[in-house]
Amino acid sequence: MEKEEIDFLKEKEEKMNGKITFRSFATWFASNTGIIREHGVIFYKINNVCYYEDFEHRNTILGIPMPETKWEKENPYKKYESCFELANVESIFQVKQSLARKIAELGLTTPAPKANMVDKVISKLVTQIVLNTGEILFMELIDYKKLENLVSNT
């Protein structure tokens, strides 16, 4: 772990008054509240609460920042961070990313169906987390099974 990451995690533990017992990184994130992040979101658990937040991402080539596009200038970055209690999770399973994107873009309240065997072979999958608040979260996690186990053991 890099010093910057260690400092970030220590700061969060102090702020939330607890130890981080699970952390992961989502390479794609969306919510049915209209949030879609095409870049990384850090996801971590302290006590029985899962926190997630994104960071501004600048495209680079060989470490050199690329100039801002017209779209980036017209749509400046706005930090997104939120959390949920594990007790509020109604279900968690993998779904097709294309359906997740549609739900997020349209703000639908009906969750996507669980990915079947064919979907698992030919489609890009993301983890869907349905909360009892009506919010539906989607994350492309490296190891979704760890999060699934975390939720089921709560």
Tens of pLDDT, residues 135-151: 999 999 887 888 888 77
CATH architecture of the domain with residue range 3-152:
Roll (2.30)
Q: What is the pTM of this model?
A: 0.85
25-39, 60-74, 107-121: range with highest mean pLDDT: 107-121
Half-sphere exposure of 65 (CA within 13 A, CB side): 6
Average pLDDT, the chain: 88
Residues 7-19, mean pLDDT to the nearest whole number: 90
Q: Which of 73, 90, 34, 26 is nearest to 53 (CA)?
A: 26
How far apart CA 38 and CA 114 sit, in angstroms, is: 22
Q: Which two tokens stand for residue 58?
A: 């600048």
